[in-house]
Homo-oligomer: A and B are copies of this chain.
Protein backbone atom coordinates (compact mmCIF):
# COMPACT_ATOMS: atom_id res chain seq x y z
CA UNK A 1 0.00 0.00 0.00
CA UNK A 2 1.34 3.37 -1.02
CA UNK A 3 0.93 6.31 1.33
CA UNK A 4 -0.32 9.83 0.63
CA UNK A 5 3.02 11.39 -0.15
CA UNK A 6 4.02 8.57 -2.51
CA UNK A 7 0.73 8.87 -4.36
CA UNK A 8 0.99 12.65 -4.42
CA UNK A 9 4.35 12.30 -6.15
CA UNK A 10 2.79 10.10 -8.82
CA UNK A 11 -0.02 12.58 -9.38
CA UNK A 12 2.31 15.56 -9.53
CA UNK A 13 4.55 13.73 -12.01
CA UNK A 14 1.50 12.94 -14.14
CA UNK A 15 0.32 16.55 -14.00
CA UNK A 16 3.79 17.82 -14.91
CA UNK A 17 4.00 15.51 -17.94
CA UNK A 18 0.49 16.11 -19.29
CA UNK A 19 -0.15 18.53 -22.13
CA UNK A 20 -3.73 19.55 -22.86
CA UNK A 21 -2.98 21.29 -26.15
CA UNK A 22 -1.39 24.50 -27.33
CA UNK A 23 -3.45 26.28 -29.98
CA UNK A 24 -4.84 28.85 -29.45
CA UNK A 25 -2.30 29.73 -26.80
CA UNK A 26 -4.61 31.95 -24.72
CA UNK A 27 -7.10 29.09 -24.39
CA UNK A 28 -4.65 26.42 -23.27
CA UNK A 29 -2.33 28.53 -21.10
CA UNK A 30 -4.99 29.03 -18.39
CA UNK A 31 -5.34 25.26 -18.11
CA UNK A 32 -1.60 24.79 -17.51
CA UNK A 33 -1.68 27.76 -15.13
CA UNK A 34 -4.56 26.34 -13.07
CA UNK A 35 -3.15 22.82 -13.00
CA UNK A 36 0.20 24.25 -11.92
CA UNK A 37 -1.15 26.14 -8.91
CA UNK A 38 -0.63 23.09 -6.74
CA UNK A 39 -2.66 22.06 -3.74
CA UNK A 40 -3.15 18.88 -1.75
CA UNK A 41 -4.37 16.95 -4.83
CA UNK A 42 -6.68 15.17 -2.43
CA UNK A 43 -9.15 13.93 -5.03
CA UNK A 44 -6.73 12.20 -7.42
CA UNK A 45 -4.80 10.76 -4.48
CA UNK A 46 -8.06 9.23 -3.22
CA UNK A 47 -8.67 7.68 -6.65
CA UNK A 48 -5.25 6.04 -6.65
CA UNK A 49 -5.61 5.03 -3.00
CA UNK A 50 -8.93 3.28 -3.67
CA UNK A 51 -7.43 1.45 -6.64
CA UNK A 52 -4.40 0.46 -4.57
CA UNK A 53 -6.76 -0.84 -1.87
CA UNK A 54 -7.62 -3.70 -4.22
CA UNK A 55 -4.04 -4.46 -5.13
CA UNK A 56 -4.44 -3.24 -8.69
CA UNK A 57 -1.59 -1.39 -10.42
CA UNK A 58 -2.33 2.28 -9.85
CA UNK A 59 -1.15 3.12 -13.39
CA UNK A 60 -4.55 1.86 -14.51
CA UNK A 61 -6.22 4.62 -12.49
CA UNK A 62 -3.79 7.46 -13.21
CA UNK A 63 -5.78 9.00 -16.09
CA UNK A 64 -9.03 8.77 -14.16
CA UNK A 65 -7.31 10.35 -11.16
CA UNK A 66 -6.11 13.24 -13.27
CA UNK A 67 -9.61 13.51 -14.80
CA UNK A 68 -11.07 14.12 -11.36
CA UNK A 69 -8.43 16.78 -10.60
CA UNK A 70 -8.98 18.53 -13.95
CA UNK A 71 -12.72 18.46 -13.33
CA UNK A 72 -12.21 19.96 -9.87
CA UNK A 73 -10.06 22.73 -11.31
CA UNK A 74 -12.65 23.44 -14.01
CA UNK A 75 -15.22 24.08 -11.27
CA UNK A 76 -12.77 26.43 -9.52
CA UNK A 77 -12.19 28.46 -12.72
CA UNK A 78 -15.92 28.96 -13.22
CA UNK A 79 -16.71 29.47 -9.51
CA UNK A 80 -14.10 32.23 -9.38
CA UNK A 81 -15.95 34.10 -12.13
CA UNK A 82 -19.29 33.68 -10.38
CA UNK A 83 -17.85 34.68 -6.99
CA UNK A 84 -15.86 37.55 -8.49
CA UNK A 85 -12.81 36.16 -6.67
CA UNK A 86 -9.49 37.89 -7.37
CA UNK A 87 -7.22 35.24 -5.87
CA UNK A 88 -6.90 31.45 -5.88
CA UNK A 89 -4.12 29.83 -3.83
CA UNK A 90 -2.61 33.30 -3.49
CA UNK A 91 -2.36 33.82 -7.27
CA UNK A 92 -4.61 35.72 -9.64
CA UNK A 93 -7.67 33.81 -10.76
CA UNK A 94 -7.96 32.94 -14.45
CA UNK A 95 -10.64 35.50 -15.17
CA UNK A 96 -8.56 38.24 -13.50
CA UNK A 97 -5.29 37.23 -15.17
CA UNK A 98 -6.90 36.75 -18.62
CA UNK A 99 -10.53 37.79 -18.96
CA UNK A 100 -14.04 36.49 -18.43
CA UNK A 101 -14.62 34.95 -21.88
CA UNK A 102 -11.28 33.12 -21.68
CA UNK A 103 -12.11 31.87 -18.19
CA UNK A 104 -15.49 30.56 -19.36
CA UNK A 105 -14.03 28.88 -22.41
CA UNK A 106 -10.89 27.41 -20.87
CA UNK A 107 -13.09 26.12 -18.05
CA UNK A 108 -15.37 24.47 -20.61
CA UNK A 109 -12.36 22.93 -22.26
CA UNK A 110 -11.11 21.58 -18.92
CA UNK A 111 -14.44 19.86 -18.40
CA UNK A 112 -14.08 18.28 -21.84
CA UNK A 113 -10.45 17.31 -21.14
CA UNK A 114 -11.60 15.68 -17.89
CA UNK A 115 -13.96 13.39 -19.82
CA UNK A 116 -11.23 12.78 -22.39
CA UNK A 117 -8.82 11.68 -19.64
CA UNK A 118 -11.45 9.50 -18.00
CA UNK A 119 -12.03 7.83 -21.36
CA UNK A 120 -8.38 6.72 -21.30
CA UNK A 121 -9.42 4.08 -18.79
CA UNK A 122 -9.88 0.80 -20.64
CA UNK A 123 -12.19 -1.08 -18.32
CA UNK A 124 -15.14 -3.42 -18.80
CA UNK A 125 -17.06 -1.34 -16.28
CA UNK A 126 -16.40 1.96 -18.05
CA UNK A 127 -20.10 2.83 -18.37
CA UNK A 128 -20.41 2.55 -14.58
CA UNK A 129 -17.31 4.71 -14.08
CA UNK A 130 -18.60 7.36 -16.48
CA UNK A 131 -22.01 7.28 -14.80
CA UNK A 132 -20.66 8.08 -11.34
CA UNK A 133 -18.53 10.82 -12.87
CA UNK A 134 -21.47 12.43 -14.73
CA UNK A 135 -23.82 12.04 -11.81
CA UNK A 136 -21.30 13.67 -9.48
CA UNK A 137 -20.49 16.45 -11.93
CA UNK A 138 -24.19 17.35 -12.15
CA UNK A 139 -24.45 17.35 -8.35
CA UNK A 140 -21.47 19.71 -8.04
CA UNK A 141 -23.23 22.20 -10.35
CA UNK A 142 -26.45 21.85 -8.36
CA UNK A 143 -24.55 22.49 -5.13
CA UNK A 144 -22.92 25.63 -6.51
CA UNK A 145 -26.28 27.01 -7.65
CA UNK A 146 -27.96 26.19 -4.31
CA UNK A 147 -25.08 27.92 -2.52
CA UNK A 148 -25.58 31.04 -4.66
CA UNK A 149 -29.32 30.90 -4.00
CA UNK A 150 -28.63 30.89 -0.24
CA UNK A 151 -27.06 34.35 -0.51
CA UNK A 152 -30.46 36.01 -0.84
CA UNK A 153 -32.26 33.84 1.72
CA UNK A 154 -32.43 34.28 5.50
CA UNK A 155 -34.31 31.10 6.29
CA UNK A 156 -31.75 28.47 5.30
CA UNK A 157 -31.80 25.54 7.74
CA UNK A 158 -28.70 23.64 8.81
CA UNK A 159 -30.15 20.57 7.08
CA UNK A 160 -30.33 22.48 3.81
CA UNK A 161 -26.80 23.74 4.38
CA UNK A 162 -25.42 20.25 4.88
CA UNK A 163 -27.28 19.01 1.80
CA UNK A 164 -25.69 21.86 -0.15
CA UNK A 165 -22.10 21.19 0.95
CA UNK A 166 -22.66 17.50 0.29
CA UNK A 167 -23.41 18.39 -3.34
CA UNK A 168 -20.97 21.23 -3.82
CA UNK A 169 -17.86 19.68 -2.32
CA UNK A 170 -18.35 16.30 -0.62
CA UNK A 171 -19.69 14.06 -3.40
CA UNK A 172 -16.57 14.65 -5.48
CA UNK A 173 -14.48 13.02 -2.74
CA UNK A 174 -16.88 10.09 -2.78
CA UNK A 175 -16.72 9.94 -6.56
CA UNK A 176 -12.90 10.00 -6.56
CA UNK A 177 -12.83 6.97 -4.30
CA UNK A 178 -15.59 5.10 -6.10
CA UNK A 179 -13.94 5.48 -9.49
CA UNK A 180 -10.62 4.27 -8.09
CA UNK A 181 -12.33 1.32 -6.45
CA UNK A 182 -14.16 0.32 -9.65
CA UNK A 183 -10.91 0.47 -11.60
CA UNK A 184 -9.31 -1.56 -8.83
CA UNK A 185 -11.93 -4.24 -9.38
CA UNK A 186 -14.04 -3.67 -6.26
CA UNK A 187 -17.55 -5.07 -5.95
CA UNK A 188 -20.14 -2.36 -6.56
CA UNK A 189 -21.23 -2.58 -2.91
CA UNK A 190 -17.66 -1.85 -1.77
CA UNK A 191 -17.37 1.02 -4.25
CA UNK A 192 -20.61 2.45 -2.84
CA UNK A 193 -19.36 2.20 0.74
CA UNK A 194 -16.19 4.02 -0.26
CA UNK A 195 -18.33 6.67 -1.94
CA UNK A 196 -20.27 7.12 1.32
CA UNK A 197 -17.00 7.26 3.26
CA UNK A 198 -15.66 10.01 1.00
CA UNK A 199 -18.88 11.97 0.96
CA UNK A 200 -19.31 11.96 4.75
CA UNK A 201 -15.62 12.79 5.24
CA UNK A 202 -16.11 15.68 2.84
CA UNK A 203 -19.03 17.01 4.86
CA UNK A 204 -16.96 16.74 8.05
CA UNK A 205 -14.04 18.57 6.35
CA UNK A 206 -16.31 21.42 5.31
CA UNK A 207 -17.81 21.76 8.79
CA UNK A 208 -14.29 21.78 10.20
CA UNK A 209 -13.44 24.53 7.73
CA UNK A 210 -16.41 26.58 8.93
CA UNK A 211 -15.45 26.09 12.58
CA UNK A 212 -11.82 27.07 12.00
CA UNK A 213 -12.72 30.25 10.18
CA UNK A 214 -14.28 31.53 13.41
CA UNK A 215 -12.36 29.61 16.07
CA UNK A 216 -9.07 28.53 14.51
CA UNK A 217 -5.52 29.64 15.04
CA UNK A 218 -5.20 32.25 12.32
CA UNK A 219 -1.49 31.89 11.71
CA UNK A 220 -1.63 28.13 11.34
CA UNK A 221 -4.88 28.12 9.38
CA UNK A 222 -3.46 30.57 6.86
CA UNK A 223 -6.57 32.71 6.75
CA UNK A 224 -7.76 35.72 8.69
CA UNK A 225 -9.93 34.56 11.57
CA UNK A 226 -13.51 35.79 11.31
CA UNK A 227 -13.41 36.28 7.53
CA UNK A 228 -16.67 34.39 7.15
CA UNK A 229 -18.29 36.49 9.88
CA UNK A 230 -17.03 39.73 8.35
CA UNK A 231 -18.58 38.85 4.98
CA UNK A 232 -21.87 37.48 6.43
CA UNK A 233 -21.05 34.17 4.77
CA UNK A 234 -23.76 31.62 5.45
CA UNK A 235 -21.69 28.97 7.17
CA UNK A 236 -23.10 26.18 9.33
CA UNK A 237 -22.37 28.39 12.34
CA UNK A 238 -24.23 31.47 11.15
CA UNK A 239 -27.13 29.40 9.83
CA UNK A 240 -27.47 27.60 13.16
CA UNK A 241 -27.30 30.92 15.02
CA UNK A 242 -30.03 32.37 12.79
CA UNK A 243 -32.13 29.24 13.37
CA UNK A 244 -31.77 29.14 17.15
CA UNK A 245 -31.35 32.75 18.24
CA UNK A 246 -33.95 33.80 20.84
CA UNK A 247 -36.20 36.62 19.72
CA UNK A 248 -34.70 38.91 22.42
CA UNK A 249 -31.28 38.57 20.74
CA UNK A 250 -32.51 38.84 17.18
CA UNK A 251 -32.15 42.63 17.01
CA UNK A 252 -28.64 42.41 18.44
CA UNK A 253 -27.74 39.73 15.90
CA UNK A 254 -29.10 41.74 13.00
CA UNK A 255 -27.29 44.84 14.22
CA UNK A 256 -24.09 42.86 14.30
CA UNK A 257 -24.69 41.47 10.80
CA UNK A 258 -25.08 45.07 9.59
CA UNK A 259 -22.21 46.44 11.70
CA UNK A 260 -19.59 48.19 9.56
CA UNK A 261 -16.81 48.14 12.18
CA UNK A 262 -15.34 44.75 11.36
CA UNK A 263 -13.69 44.00 14.68
CA UNK A 264 -16.84 44.94 16.56
CA UNK A 265 -18.86 42.77 14.22
CA UNK A 266 -16.65 39.68 14.62
CA UNK A 267 -16.57 40.13 18.39
CA UNK A 268 -20.35 40.54 18.55
CA UNK A 269 -21.14 37.47 16.49
CA UNK A 270 -18.55 35.39 18.36
CA UNK A 271 -20.27 36.36 21.63
CA UNK A 272 -23.57 35.10 20.25
CA UNK A 273 -21.88 31.91 19.05
CA UNK A 274 -20.69 31.39 22.62
CA UNK A 275 -24.06 32.14 24.15
CA UNK A 276 -25.86 29.69 21.87
CA UNK A 277 -23.08 27.07 21.97
CA UNK A 278 -22.75 27.18 18.22
CA UNK A 279 -19.22 25.82 18.21
CA UNK A 280 -20.33 22.80 20.24
CA UNK A 281 -23.22 22.25 17.82
CA UNK A 282 -20.90 22.32 14.81
CA UNK A 283 -18.32 20.08 16.51
CA UNK A 284 -21.08 17.58 17.22
CA UNK A 285 -22.24 17.66 13.59
CA UNK A 286 -18.68 17.16 12.44
CA UNK A 287 -18.29 14.17 14.73
CA UNK A 288 -21.58 12.73 13.48
CA UNK A 289 -20.34 12.81 9.88
CA UNK A 290 -16.92 11.47 10.80
CA UNK A 291 -18.66 8.59 12.55
CA UNK A 292 -20.84 7.92 9.51
CA UNK A 293 -17.76 8.01 7.32
CA UNK A 294 -15.92 5.43 9.41
CA UNK A 295 -18.98 3.23 9.64
CA UNK A 296 -19.06 3.13 5.84
CA UNK A 297 -15.36 2.34 5.70
CA UNK A 298 -15.93 -0.52 8.10
CA UNK A 299 -18.48 -2.02 5.72
CA UNK A 300 -15.90 -2.24 2.94
CA UNK A 301 -15.25 -5.93 2.49
CA UNK A 302 -11.44 -6.07 2.66
CA UNK A 303 -8.88 -6.77 5.39
CA UNK A 304 -8.90 -4.12 8.09
CA UNK A 305 -5.15 -3.57 7.80
CA UNK A 306 -5.52 -2.49 4.16
CA UNK A 307 -7.88 0.28 5.24
CA UNK A 308 -5.24 1.94 7.43
CA UNK A 309 -3.96 4.29 4.72
CA UNK A 310 -7.42 5.71 4.03
CA UNK A 311 -8.19 6.02 7.74
CA UNK A 312 -4.90 7.75 8.38
CA UNK A 313 -5.38 10.10 5.42
CA UNK A 314 -8.79 11.16 6.71
CA UNK A 315 -7.59 11.69 10.26
CA UNK A 316 -4.39 13.47 9.25
CA UNK A 317 -6.29 15.83 6.97
CA UNK A 318 -8.68 16.62 9.77
CA UNK A 319 -5.74 17.10 12.13
CA UNK A 320 -3.75 19.22 9.71
CA UNK A 321 -6.74 21.51 9.33
CA UNK A 322 -7.22 22.02 13.08
Contact = CB atoms under 8 A, between A and B. Distances in A.
Interface stretch (A6-14, A100-108, A179-187, A190-198): A100-108
Interface in A139-166: 141-142, 144-146, 148-149
Interface string A69-98: 000000000100110000000000000000
Contacts of A266: none
Interface string A6-27: 0000000000000001011011
Interface stretch (A32-40, A109-117, A210-218, A275-283): A109-117
Contact of A105 (B122, B131, B141): B141
Given A111-B108, A126-B126, A102 B138 contact: no
A66 interface: no
A119 B104 contact: no
B111 A119 contact: no
Interface string A119-144: 10010001100110011011001101
**Helix, strand, loop or mixed for chain A's interface?**
helix
Given A115-B115, A116-B138, A26 B149 contact: yes
A211 to B, nearest CB: 26
Contacts of A126: 126-127
Given A112-B141, A141-B112, A145-B24, A105 B134 contact: no
Chain A contact-residue range equals 35 or more
A83 B280 CA distance: 50
Contact of A108 (B23, B78, B148): B78
Contacts of A137: 112
Nearest to A81: B104
A82 B111 contact: no
Nearest to A133: B115
A132 B87 CA distance: 36
Interface in A236-271: none
A144 B111 contact: no
A110 to B, nearest CB: 10
Contacts of A148: 101
Interface of A: 21, 23-24, 26-27, 78, 81-82, 100-102, 104-105, 107-109, 111-113, 115-116, 119, 122, 126-127, 130-131, 134-135, 137-138, 141-142, 144-146, 148-149
14 contacts: A21-B138, A24-B145, A26-B149, A27-B142, A78-B104, A78-B105, A81-B100, A81-B101, A105-B141, A115-B115, A116-B134, A116-B138, A119-B127, A122-B127
